[in-house]
Structure 1
Amino acid sequence: MAAQDLATESLNLNLPSMGAVAGTELSPAEEQALGEEMMRQIRDDPSYLNDAETLEYLNRLGYKLVSVSDTHTYNFFFYPLIDPSLNAFAIPGGFIAVHTGLIIAAQNESELAGVIAHEVGHVSQRHIARMIDAQKGSAALSIGSFLLALLAARAGSGQAATALAVGGQAALIQNQLSYSRGAEREADRVGLTSLVRAGFDPKGMENFFMRLRQNNRYYEAAAPAYLLTHPLTVERISDMENRTRQLGARTHNDSLDFSLIQQRMRVLQQTKYDGWLQVSKEMKQDLQNAKTNRQKTALTYGLSVVSRKLNQKSDAIRYANQAVSLGGNNAILLKNQSETIFQYGNQTEKKSALAMSERLVSNNPLSEMAVKLYASQLFDLKRYNDTLRFMRTQQAMTQSNPSYHAINARCYRALKQMSRHYMSVGDMYLAQGDKRAAEYQYNLAQQANDGDYYTMSQVDGKLRSTRADIIAEEKAKNR
């Protein structure tokens, strides 16, 4: 397993079930904690796409909007879900999901940004917290059923559909999850303001929602998925038209990354060989008809990605090199080139690919995508101590990032330093806000007892601290 996938590696722990939402109106801190608890379940869903390129792009785009929004409470996190429907949704605490189908369907970057800005508006205005507060006391409302209803709103999720059929509670809560018309107008208003401040075309939001409303027959199951929880009325469309008219025409030049990620999503949205074959055929046809260099670059990159899925070595390398020639010094293109050469090359070629990824980190020191690539290649070359040294000096990932500890954990396990391995796994879970899972790992680290005095002192201290926090939280719940 590559190092960039470490954070999703299953450790077969029996994690605690979710409890009920209770108490008075959620504070922002409680809302954040609730969202983190829900995200642990979402990350375990097969539809969660732990893809470094897409995560980095969505969070860069999302924070362009957050940075100019009137919200400073939440640590936002934007992530993709593999689902062909046109949908995006927020859960408590600023965690915003974007379906692959939405990314692919956006006709320009301002449309994608418009939908994300709308979701940021729901979070910043605390619409989700208000819904939970309005429903407290309902016997049906638990964290688990709240999450289930959110997932069931996503047309196309097999697991959510199965759960919905089993649990009648979700149908009840689903109806309660629809935002009010007032909340929708408020999210439109604040989202549109952020969209303009961030330099995007305000028509992006209006155009997307109008197309969604007018073409729901064309999109079939996709349109209801979004409209189910985001009531789209004639008044809303009219209000958006009036606002964008007052703002006047504005232009935005789409980034190359937007086009690259769109083609990447066409590939990663498929999960079977036949799907990749079909995408490859369509991309080759699209490339023949491409008119601009941007289109040619993105499609050539997409063909390299799908060729790797199809294990077509020569095509994957050829398209990767061509994409770099067409697109220049773009981090996504350079990452793909290094990754492809490393995957298929001999030892000499792997060293060349490693040098490429090292340059990528040097030129993009704050890119988590670049850091994960270089770390994964060092790890695959069995240079475990070099990987650990690099992780200590890199600048993109802090110790609050679960993936930072996951990479270290794999290295320590390969070096057979089990106390450090378990401690790093515990640190990973603690960074995810899962104190019980962290306690379990710190206990394993203590039992392994193969570290030096300093390491074992760290383990003991973390175990005591985590246990004390768990006890304090349990007492607080019982008051």
Structure 2
Amino acid sequence: MCLCVFSQLCIAQSVLGLGDNNRNQLPEIGVVASDAITIDKEKIVGDIIMRQLRGQAPLVQDPVLQEYIQGIGNRLVIHADNTKFPFQFFMINNPVLNAFAFYGGHIGIHTGLLAASSTESELASVLAHEVAHVTQRHLARRVQMQKRNSPLQIASLIGGILLAMADPEAGIAAVQASSAAGQQANINFTRTNEIEADNIGINILYRAGFDPQGAPGFFEKLLAQSRGRSTQLSFLQTHPLPADRVAQTTTRARSFGVRNVPPSLDFHLAKARIQGRYMSSPKRNINLFSSQLASSNNAKQKGAQYGLAISLFELQRYDEAKNILDKLMLNDKENLFYLDLMTDIYIKQDAPSSAISLLTPLWLNKPQNSVLTLNLANAYISAQNFEPAIQMLRDLLLVNKENFLAYQLLNDAYSRSQMKKEAHMTKAEIYALILAYPLAIDELQFAYNQVDSDTLEKLRIKGRIEQFREAQASMMSLNI
């Protein structure tokens, strides 16, 4: 299977039906393509698609993994050229090796991709490739080149995009069977953008301090996975064949020389977390992690211990899991992976006060850290001490307005403390984050009915209802 089946380019072409009649004459790097889609509109479209993904795709709402993958992404973006907007990295619970990018700097990877990576540089090479797709504005450039009779409405694209992300072959088939089948039946994707993204991605990878050999290393995995599949299928998926890309990326990576990057503990902890929580059964995972305990790689060994603790936790063997974590935390007391699991253990053992004591001094030192905030708030809610949880979650949402898990915890806190108006208002924001504006408006109407004589609060709720109505109308009429 090709590396970027769900890449920014692939999504655009499979859904929009963009042809390849331009002889691959690409503009110079960094061309804005503003006559096709402006930067501002690209951000708007990206936000709409991201909201729809939250509602229909199995996004991983895991604060530790989210912080890890965003951290890797940010490290790459800092060393990329032509960045036009903040990037958002996220994960989808899917065992298939894939990654994709779309409008507005949104980049998603499947859990299977991280699980299959052997090193952090391999993982980073995939993210760097997707960053290159975004910074080179491949999607906008293809839109610019396509001679279209009329613009397409974003509302008509979203379903096909989501389906293509879940299953590229089914997604393309569904799009071809749609009302726009006449334009899309002869899809023929260019390979030039993929090669450009490979080359620029390796450059970003190297500048960010990773091993450039991570790119051909990961392509080797794809090559092994694709054996036995027809070359025709690979061609229809519009990317250079894996064997070709291994040779090309190997040559490119060698030009940067050798870089010895030490093993990353966080990478092995993230990989173990995905295996332990999203792949296979706890009993099978115990056997897997037990076999890795003798590894000479210290980071991998600790990852195996952590994965073993997660597997024991999943089997409700909380004391055994805690014993492993206690040892891991002896010399690494602020490790967010360990702290998150330890919080879960304390809550399951009906000891949320122990979690509060563990997390509070760390949170006071880093009050804007989302992992610490969400875990501490969860512990307070479990202890039925709702006021501090509500305050810290509201503070977090001031700086991270789209933190879905924070809204869910806040809604739980409001509901359990019988703050009905606030619970409805928070539920409305949750619905808005998944593009369910009618349901969001209903929740605000319920909240409005909970207000007695507070005229200012009523006006505020009415204003938010109007904002949601305008957002829905704008989405339905938006053309690209």
TM-score band w.r.t. shorter chain: 0.7 to 0.9
- In structure 2, the CA distance between the partners of 1:61 and 1:477, relative to structure 1 (3 Å rule), is closer
CA separation in 2, counterparts of 1:201 and 1:66?
16
Q: 1:146 aligns with which of 157, 161, 175?
A: 161
- In structure 2, the CA distance between the partners of 1:337 and 1:413, relative to structure 1 (3 Å rule), is closer
Map 1:359-374; keep pairs closer than 5 Å: 359-374=361-376
Q: Does 1:281 align with 2:287?
A: yes
The residue aligned with 1:331 is 336
Map 1:352-391; keep pairs closer than 5 Å: 352-391=354-393
> Could you tell me which amino acid in structure 2 is paired with residue 278 of structure 1?
R
- In structure 2, the CA distance between the partners of 1:306 and 1:460, relative to structure 1 (3 Å rule), is same
Deviation, structure 1 residue 85: 2.1
The residue aligned with 1:458 is 460
The 8 Å contact of residues 301 and 319 in structure 1, kept in 2 or not, is answered as yes
CA separation in 2, counterparts of 1:440 and 1:147?
26
Q: 1:398 aligns with which of 388, 400, 414?
A: 400
> Could you tell me which amino acid in structure 1 is paired with residue 116 of structure 2?
A
> Could you tell me which amino acid in structure 2 is paired with residue 415 of structure 1?
S
The DSSP-based 3-state class of the residue aligned with 1:247 is coil
Point out the more displaced range, 369-378 or 350-359: 350-359
The DSSP-based 3-state class of the residue aligned with 2:329 is helix
Q: 1:427 aligns with which of 415, 426, 429?
A: 429
Q: 1:70 aligns with which of 78, 81, 88?
A: 81
CA separation in 2, counterparts of 1:331 and 1:396?
22
The residue aligned with 1:441 is 443
Q: Unpaired runs of 5+ in structure 2?
A: 1-14, 19-33
Q: TM-score, normalised by structure 1?
A: 0.80
CA separation in 1, counterparts of 2:363 and 2:448?
35
The residue aligned with 2:71 is 60
Q: Does 1:350 align with 2:348?
A: no
- In structure 2, the CA distance between the partners of 1:178 and 1:321, relative to structure 1 (3 Å rule), is farther
- In structure 2, the CA distance between the partners of 1:296 and 1:327, relative to structure 1 (3 Å rule), is farther
- In structure 2, the CA distance between the partners of 1:164 and 1:234, relative to structure 1 (3 Å rule), is closer
The residue aligned with 1:47 is 58
- In structure 2, the CA distance between the partners of 1:444 and 1:25, relative to structure 1 (3 Å rule), is farther
- Which one has more relative contact order, counting CA pairs under 8 Å at least 6 apart? 2
The residue aligned with 1:340 is 345
Q: Deviations over 1:158-210 (max 9, x none)?
A: xxx5x778775389799988852210111112211211111111111122113
Q: Does 1:303 align with 2:313?
A: no
Q: 2:218 aligns with which of 195, 208, 219?
A: 208
The DSSP-based 3-state class of the residue aligned with 2:107 is strand
Q: Unpaired runs of 5+ in structure 1?
A: 1-18, 155-160
User: What is the aligned residue count?
Assistant: 443
The 8 Å contact of residues 374 and 393 in structure 2, kept in 1 or not, is answered as no
The residue aligned with 1:9 is none
Point out the more displaced range, 96-105 or 451-460: 451-460
Q: Does 1:232 align with 2:247?
A: no
Map 1:240-279; keep pairs closer than 5 Å: 240-270=249-279, 275-279=281-285
Q: Deviations over 1:291-338 (max 9, x none)?
A: 243222211111111111111222222222232236554221122223
> Could you tell me which amino acid in structure 2 is paired with residue 185 of structure 1?
I
The residue aligned with 2:325 is 320
Deviation, structure 1 residue 66: 1.0
Deviation, structure 1 residue 59: 0.6
The DSSP-based 3-state class of the residue aligned with 2:177 is helix
Deviation, structure 1 residue 44: 3.2
The 8 Å contact of residues 418 and 450 in structure 1, kept in 2 or not, is answered as no
- In structure 2, the CA distance between the partners of 1:403 and 1:232, relative to structure 1 (3 Å rule), is same
Point out the more displaced range, 181-190 or 165-174: 165-174
The 8 Å contact of residues 286 and 311 in structure 2, kept in 1 or not, is answered as yes
CA separation in 1, counterparts of 2:273 and 2:38?
38
> Could you tell me which amino acid in structure 2 is paired with residue 242 of structure 1?
T
> Could you tell me which amino acid in structure 2 is paired with residue 258 of structure 1?
F
The residue aligned with 1:188 is 198
Q: Does 1:102 align with 2:113?
A: yes
- In structure 2, the CA distance between the partners of 1:337 and 1:147, relative to structure 1 (3 Å rule), is closer
Deviation, structure 1 residue 472: 6.2
> Could you tell me which amino acid in structure 2 is paired with residue 143 of structure 1?
I
CA separation in 2, counterparts of 1:357 and 1:200?
32
- In structure 2, the CA distance between the partners of 1:402 and 1:327, relative to structure 1 (3 Å rule), is closer
Q: Deviations over 1:253-303 (max 9, x none)?
A: 2331111001111112236xxx2211111211221x222432222111111
Segments of 4+ in structure 1 off by > 6 A?
19-24, 138-141, 163-167, 170-178, 224-227
Point out the more displaced range, 456-465 or 392-401: 392-401
CA separation in 2, counterparts of 1:468 and 1:456?
18
Q: 1:36 aligns with which of 47, 65, 89?
A: 47
Q: Does 1:93 align with 2:104?
A: yes
CA separation in 2, counterparts of 1:263 and 1:240?
28
> Could you tell me which amino acid in structure 2 is paired with residue 330 of structure 1?
N
Point out the more displaced range, 445-454 or 104-113: 445-454
CA separation in 2, counterparts of 1:370 and 1:226?
46
CA separation in 2, counterparts of 1:70 and 1:440?
44
> Could you tell me which amino acid in structure 1 is paired with residue 373 of structure 2?
V
- Give the % identical residues: 26
CA separation in 2, counterparts of 1:341 and 1:412?
22
The 8 Å contact of residues 290 and 296 in structure 1, kept in 2 or not, is answered as yes
CA separation in 1, counterparts of 2:124 and 2:184?
26
The 8 Å contact of residues 88 and 105 in structure 2, kept in 1 or not, is answered as yes
- In structure 2, the CA distance between the partners of 1:90 and 1:419, relative to structure 1 (3 Å rule), is same
- In structure 2, the CA distance between the partners of 1:315 and 1:179, relative to structure 1 (3 Å rule), is farther
- In structure 2, the CA distance between the partners of 1:465 and 1:90, relative to structure 1 (3 Å rule), is closer
The 8 Å contact of residues 85 and 225 in structure 1, kept in 2 or not, is answered as no
CA separation in 2, counterparts of 1:180 and 1:152?
20
> Could you tell me which amino acid in structure 1 is paired with residue 387 of structure 2?
N
Deviation, structure 1 residue 64: 0.7
Aligned-residue Cα RMSD (Å) equals: 3.7
Point out the more displaced range, 453-462 or 103-112: 453-462
Point out the more displaced range, 237-246 or 190-199: 237-246
